Amino acid sequence: MIDYHFDWSVITRNWDKFTDALLLGLGLAVVSLAIGSVIGLLAAYARLSPRKWLSYLVWAYVEFIRCTPLLLLIFFLYFGLPEFDITVLDKSQSFVLSLSLYAGAYMCEVFRSGLASIPKQYVEAAKAIGLRPLQRQLYVVLPVMFRITLPAVSNNLISLFKDTSLAAAIAVPELTFTARQINANTFRVMEVWLTASGLYLVTAYVIATLLRLVERRYAAIR
Amino acid sequence: MTFTPGTFWFEAWAAREALLVGLGVTLASAMLSIVMATVCGIAVGVALSYGWWWLSGLARLYVDVMRGIPLLVLILFTYYGLALFGINVPAFWAGVVALGAFATAHVAENFRGAVQSVPAGQMEAAKAIGLTFRQRLAYVILPQAFRRILPPWVNTALEIVKGTTLLSIIGVIELLLAAQQQMARNYMIVDFYLLTLALYLVINFTLAQLGGVLERRFSYLRY
C-alpha cells in the first residue's frame, strides 16, 4: 500500500463549489428531461402516425441519436453551430440543446411503447361518450400513458443526470468539471474523486428513491 | 468535385492516416473493454446469482456503485487514481480498465437477469439427476441463459463504443480526438465532425442491427 495521507480539508473548504456544481448538474438534467419529453412525445405521435414518411423520419432520428456518442453530439453543436452563424447559445444552453435532443430520442421510444400499450377499448370508450380527438388524447390516453411510462422516465432522468458529467468537456462548471479543477489545483486526487463519485451516487440514489415514491403514489393500472 | 488544398476531400484524404489510426484505437479500446467486461461480468454475475450472501452482497454493491457513477468520473478517477498507487499506466490502459469495469457491472446485471429467467425447475431437475454445481451451470443453465444475454450484450458493446469517445478527455487519441486534431489544423469543423459522425454511425448502426437480429432470432424463447 502506498503512503497516501488523506486531507479532507480540501473538501470542506470547497464544499460550496461542490454543491453549486451538483445543483447545476441536476438543473441541466431536469431542463433537458423536460425539453426531451416534449420532443419525445411529439416524436412518438409522429412515429405512430399513418404517414409513412413522418414515421420513417422519426425512426431515422431515433436510430441516429442512439448510434451517436453523446460527446460527439455535444462538440458538434457547440463548435459546429457557430459555423452556421448561430451564436446565440452559450455553453450551458448548447449543452442543454444536445442533451435534450439526446433525451428526446430515448423518450420517444419510451412514449411510443407507452402509447402502444394503451388498450384500444379506452379510446373506443372515449369515442363512445363523444370526446373529440384532442380530448381523447388529453383526458384519456395521456394520463394513462404517463402512469405506465413513469418508471422508464425516472430511469431516464437518472441516466441524464449522469450524462451531465459530459458538460465538463465544454467547460460547463458542473460537478465533474469542478472536481477536475479542484483536483488540478490541489492534487488531492482521492479526496476529490471520492467526493465527486459519492455525490453522484447519493444523488442518483435519492432521485431513484423519490421517484419510486411517486411511482407508488401513481401506480400504473395493472 | 475539386481535389485541391482547402477542399474537404483533399483535407480528408490528407488526414486519412491520422483518422484511421484513431479509428483503430477506438476499436481496440472498445474490444479490449468488451472482452474484459464479458469475462469479469460473468464472474460477477455468477457471484451475484449464486454467491454466498457476503459474496453476492459485495457483487451487488459493486454493480450498484458502478451504475450510479457517471462513466466520465470513473475514467478520470481511474486515470488520476492509478498513478497514486505507483501504477504508471498510459492513458489508454487506464481508460480501458475504467470502461471495462463499468461494462462489467452491466454484463453482470444482464447475466443475473438471464439466469433468473431460466425456470427454477431446470435447476431442480439438474440437481435431481445428480449434477455438480459446475455441471449444472455449464450444461443446463448457461446454454439457456446465453440466448437471453446475447441481445443486451450487443447493446452493452454499443454503449462501450460510444463510451470510448470519453477517452479523448484523458488524452487518448482515438477517433474523436484524432478528428479534433485535424480540425485544429484545417478549421473544417463541421465537415470533419460530420465525417467522424458517419464513421461512428457505421460502427454503431451495424452493432444495433446485429442486436436486433439476435433479439428476433431468440424471440421464440418463452419460459
pLDDT tens sequence across B27-74? 999 999 999 999 999 999 999 988 889 999 999 999 989 988 999 999
pLDDT of residue B58: 93
- Which of A69, A80, A201 is the closest to B190 by Cβ? A80
Interface test with chain A among B172, B193, B199, B202, by most A beta carbons within 10 Å: B193
The domains of chain B are located at 23-217
Q: Over 60: is that where the pLDDT of A217 sits?
A: yes
Contact yes or no for A176 and B193 at CB 8 A: no
Domain annotation covers residue A36: yes
Contact yes or no for A68 and B71 at CB 8 A: no
Domain annotation covers residue A160: yes
Q: Over 80: is that where the pLDDT of B1 sits?
A: no
List b or e across B59-90, with b for residues whose CB sees 16 or more CB atoms inside 10 angstroms.
Answer: bbebbeebbbbbbbbbbbbbbbbbeeeeeeee
Contact yes or no for B190 and A83 at CB 8 A: yes
User: How distant, in Å, are the alpha carbons of A117, A205, B113 from that of A149?
Assistant: 10, 20, 21
List b or e across A3-22, with b for residues whose CB sees 16 or more CB atoms inside 10 angstroms.
Answer: eeeeeeebbeebeebbeebb
How far apart are alpha carbons B216 and B208 in whole angstroms?
A: 12
DSSP, res A131: -
CATH number given to B23-217: 1.10.3720.10
Count of CB atoms situated within 10 Å of the CB of A134: 8
Look up residue A192 and give its amino acid.
Answer: V
Task: Tell me the mean pLDDT in the region A203-209.
Answer: 91
Question: ipTM score of the complex?
Answer: 0.86
Question: What would the grid cell of residue B208 be?
Answer: 444495433
How far apart are alpha carbons B76 and B69 in whole angstroms?
A: 11
Which residues in B lie closer than 8 A to residue A79 (C-beta atoms)? 183, 189, 193
Domain annotation covers residue A13: no
How far apart are alpha carbons B175 and A195 in whole angstroms?
A: 31
User: What percentage of chain B exceeds 90 in pLDDT?
Assistant: 44
Interface test with chain B among A75, A86, A161, A176, by most B beta carbons within 10 Å: A75
Question: Which candidate, A96, A73, A192, places its Cα nearest to that of A200?
Answer: A192
**Helix ranges (DSSP H) in A14-137:** 15-48, 52-66, 70-80, 91-116, 120-128, 133-135
pLDDT tens sequence across A76-117? 999 988 888 887 788 889 999 999 999 999 999 999 999 988
Look up residue B9 and give its amino acid.
Answer: W
How far apart are alpha carbons B13 and B80 in whole angstroms?
A: 36
Domain annotation covers residue A5: no
Nearest CA to CA, how far is A168 from chain B (Å)? 9
In sequence order, which residues have a C-beta less than 8 Å from that of residue A108 and are 6 or more positions away?
A39, A40, A43, A44, A47, A58, A61, A62
Domain annotation covers residue A164: yes
User: How distant, in Å, are the alpha carbons of A162, B164, B180 from that of B171?
Assistant: 21, 12, 12
Number of domains in chain A: 1
Which residues in A lie closer than 8 A to residue B189 (C-beta atoms)? 79-80, 83
In sequence order, which residues have a C-beta less than 8 Å from that of residue B28 and are 6 or more positions away?
none
For residue B66, give the chain A residue with the closest CA. Answer: A201
Q: Over 70: is that where the pLDDT of B199 sits?
A: yes
> What is the extent of the structural domain holding A23?
19-217
Question: Which candidate, A70, A184, A72, places its Cα nearest to that of B174?
Answer: A72
pLDDT of residue A219: 67
Count of CB atoms situated within 10 Å of the CB of B97: 20
Say yes or no: B25 contacts chain A, CB-CB below 8 A: no
Contact yes or no for A162 and B165 at CB 8 A: no
Q: Over 60: is that where the pLDDT of B201 sits?
A: yes
How far apart are alpha carbons A93 and B40 in whole angstroms?
A: 39
Question: Which candidate, A2, A87, A149, places its Cα nearest to that of B86?
Answer: A2
Question: Which candidate, B152, B161, B156, B150, places its Cα nearest to that of B204?
Answer: B161
Which residues in B lie closer than 8 A to residue A193 (C-beta atoms)? 73, 76-77, 80-81
pLDDT tens sequence across A22-66? 999 999 999 999 999 999 999 999 998 888 999 999 999 999 998
A18 in Cβ contact with A175 (< 8 Å): yes
Contact yes or no for B200 and A76 at CB 8 A: no
Question: Which candidate, A43, A16, A74, A181, places its Cα nearest to that of B80?
Answer: A181
For residue B169, give the chain A residue with the closest CA. Answer: A169
pLDDT of residue B221: 61
Contact yes or no for B72 and A168 at CB 8 A: yes
Q: Which pLDDT band holds residue B102 (cuts at 50, 70, 90)?
A: very high
Domain annotation covers residue A77: yes
Q: Over 70: is that where the pLDDT of B78 sits?
A: yes
User: For chain B, what is the mean pLDDT?
Assistant: 88
pLDDT of residue A221: 55
Say yes or no: B167 contacts chain A, CB-CB below 8 A: no
Residue pairs spanning A and B at CB distance below 8 A: 109
Q: What is the CATH number of the domain that holds A106?
A: 1.10.3720.10
Instruction: Kindly tell me the sign of the dihedral angle through the C-alpha atoms of A31, A32, A34, A38.
Output: positive
